Amino acid sequence: MHTVRRTVLVTGASSGIGRAIAKQLLNAGQRVIGLSRDLSQFRHPHPGFTGIELDLAKLDAIAPAAKQLLQDFPSLDAVVFAAGFGRFGSLEQFSYNQIEQLLTVNFTAPVFLTRALLPSLKQQPHSNLLYIGSEAALKGSRNGTIYCAGKFALRGFTQALRDECGKSSVRVSLINPGMVDTAFFATLGFAPGKQANQALQADDIANAVSYILQAGPHCVIDEINLNPANKVIEFKK
């Protein structure tokens, strides 16, 4: 690995995995632009951090926001797509609006933002597109029809985009975490086990992100799968 100064856009930077990634990058001296639906979540100013408010569920707002972003930060050379949420249940329990929202935030919005930023990233001498996927992209599971579909789609997208960008300066990577101990599970009916080896920590994902971003420009780290040593699911009463 080699240490270089990067300007990194992190979506979902106000909580969970995205927040851990942003903090670790700042601690390493990187310039971080944090995207969030709610800027009030960024309570501690940092000289290397800029918060930008954007609701990724509003697809029409993505391209104009990306255009302004590139004007304000022409040195942007890496994007980490960490925004997302989960909703689980049998297909018949989903409303049509819930299906649309879940697929929009977890898949369509990252594709829109990638499309808007890609031409500029190709002009950089070395750039990264890094997507936070899920173990749900590797195997379909009961009550995960829509969530798994979005993550499978994201995985297929990154594989195709990696090949498409192979002759450019852009490196495309995907991280598929298992269950991570974050607020992701706060509104769900299940959560990872409480023992230390039964869930990943957000910093585990941030470590993988840092590794990928500091890898030499001559190589691409295609995909990383991370899981807790002992996978345990606890169902809430």
SS3 76: coil
The Cα-based distances of 179 to 16, 62, 72, 234 in angstroms read 12, 29, 36, 11
Domain that holds residue 158: 7-235
| 2 in any annotated domain | no
Residue 183 is predicted with a pLDDT of 72
Residue 140 is predicted with a pLDDT of 92
CATH of residue 180's domain is 3.40.50.720
Residue 1 is predicted with a pLDDT of 44
Residues near 160 by beta carbon (within 8 Å), at least 6 away in sequence: none
| 166 in any annotated domain | yes
| 39 in any annotated domain | yes
* Dist. CA 93–CA 28, nearest whole Å: 44
Which residues, given as ranges, of the chain have pLDDT below 50?
Answer: 1-2
| 119 in any annotated domain | yes
* Dist. CA 138–CA 39, nearest whole Å: 33
In this structure, what are the phi and psi dihedrals at residue 12, rounded to the nearest 5 degrees? 65, 35
**Secondary structure element (H or E) that encloses residue 226, with its range:** strand 223-226
Q: Sort 168 into a burial class: Cβ within 10 Å, 0-12 / 13-18 / 19+.
A: middle
| 185 in any annotated domain | yes
Based on its alpha-carbon atoms, the radius of gyration of the chain, rounded to whole angstroms, reads 17
* Dist. CA 191–CA 109, nearest whole Å: 26
Residue 179 is predicted with a pLDDT of 84
Residues 146 and 99: beta-carbon distance below 8 Å: yes
Residue 197 is predicted with a pLDDT of 87
Output the pTM of the full model: 0.93
Tokens of 63: 């391209």
| 1 in any annotated domain | no
Residues 166 and 172: beta-carbon distance below 8 Å: no
The tens digit of pLDDT for each residue in 53-78 reads 999 999 999 999 999 999 999 999 99
| 91 in any annotated domain | yes
Torsion of CA 205, 111, 154, 211, to 10 degrees: -30
Residue 158 is predicted with a pLDDT of 98
| 41 in any annotated domain | yes
Looking at the 3D structure of the chain, how many domains does it have?
A: 1
Selection from 191, 179, 184 nearest residue 235 by Cα: 191
Residue 176 is predicted with a pLDDT of 97
Residue 3 is predicted with a pLDDT of 60
Residue 42 is predicted with a pLDDT of 78
